[in-house]
Amino acid sequence: MNTPLIAAVCATLALGACSSIGSSRLNPFNWFGSSEPAQASDVDLSRPADPRALVAQVIDMKIEQTVGGVIIRATGLPPTQAYWEAELVPRPVDDGKLVFDFRIFPPIFRANVSTPRSREVTVAAFLSDIKLQGIRQITVQGASNGRTSRR
């Protein structure tokens, strides 16, 4: 007779605790929320290690939880169509902040401007849980803006 009562009380307490833990920083699903606009930071253009240019504008960034880490997915908007070989190139971690440069090659021949949707370029990068240990902020940087997500 006491066993069902005790089980019901324990289930009620466990379900009540879910709402407070679900919005806390202890829940890994809350760590990197939606991205927010960030200002373009200084990039040393004198002699880049990567010959690709920065994408003109970063229009979206999402960080998705996966088994063993996160996938950083960013969408950029170059000025014309036919940009190619895009990649998120990481800079060294500085004070818990990881910055990725959204690098892309320009078209070889003259290209059409067309609609913004037809010019969008999406790239992604994987970060393991080990590499994420000291990271509090992730930024994807373009030529004119960036997008940032914080823990």
Per-residue pLDDT reduced to its tens digit, 99-149 = 999 999 999 998 888 899 999 999 999 999 999 998 999 999 999 999 999
What does the pLDDT look like over 33-80, one tens digit per residue? 666 677 666 555 445 578 899 999 999 999 999 999 999 999 999 999
End-to-end CA distance of the chain: 46
**Are 97 and 128 part of one and the same domain?**
yes
Tell me, yes or no, whether 40 and 66 share the same domain.
Answer: yes
> 21 and 47 in one domain?
no
For residues 37 and 18, state if they share a domain.
no
Domain shared by 81 and 125, yes or no: yes
Q: Identify whether residues 66 and 129 lie together within a single domain.
A: yes
How many Å apart are CA 100 and CA 132, to the nearest integer?
Answer: 14
Domain that holds residue 46: 32-150
> What is d(CA 105, CA 102) in angstroms, rounded to the nearest whole number?
11
Higher pLDDT, 97 or 21: 97
Residues 98 and 131 in one domain: yes
125 CB-contact burial (10 Å; exposed 0-12 / middle 13-18 / buried 19+):
middle
Q: How many domains, in total, are found in the chain?
A: 2
